[in-house]
Amino acid sequence: MAVKFQYNKVSMQALQKELKIRAVALPTLKSKEAYLRLTIKKEKQQRSSLQKRLEQLRANLGENERLFAEFPEQVLHAKNVEFGQVNVAGITVPTLDAVTIVSNQEAPVLHPIWFGWGEHIVRELARALAEIDVVNRRIALLEHARKKTTQKVNLYEKVQIPEFSEAVLKIKRYLEDVENLEKAAQKITKSRKTQLELPGGMHD
């Protein structure tokens, strides 16, 4: 949508003000965009590390994985998952503080000897899955913010700043032309007046 303006100083000053706001904001927006891209890259690297850790946990089970078929159902459950939050370039993103998993077992002596080890593995797996989930949430929020920032950068840099600049230039040229015409008209009037005041000057 083209910029609407009038060919006068008030309109030019209003455009110059808007132009200045965008010119000042643009470097900050570009820095924010670059920082978000870098942060997203680091978050994805962290997610990759967490996924490898999860895979390693599962791989370490080896043949012991079949033991979990004997693991009592509903014996463990997540009682509480605590989230925190941090501010990244003005965006609030979640962090994982704690995952509380409790056991429902009433008589541990009735369970096989490996049960304690199995419970430890389940807790580690649950924590790893929760961490991956939180990183995915952070990435989604940061990607959304990055896209919005990129759109604003493009709007300012490729659309509004050029349009405002062009509009200001048009008004300046118009006002200069008007001023020049007025000066020319004044010169003509002054010259005509001078001639009329001279002895034997021109008469209509």
Q: What is the pLDDT of residue 61?
A: 73
Return all residues near 96 (Cβ < 8 A) that are at least 6 apart.
81, 82, 83, 84, 130, 131, 134
Q: What is the pTM of this model?
A: 0.74
Q: How far is 79 from 103, CA to CA, in rounded Å?
A: 9
CA 178 – CA 184 distance, rounded (Å): 10
Contact in structure between 103 and 77 (CB atoms under 8 Å): no
Per-residue pLDDT at 202 exceeds 80? no
| Rounded average pLDDT over 139-151 | 96
pLDDT in tens, 167-200: 999 999 999 988 888 887 777 877 777 776 666 5
- Which tokens belong to 171? 């008004």
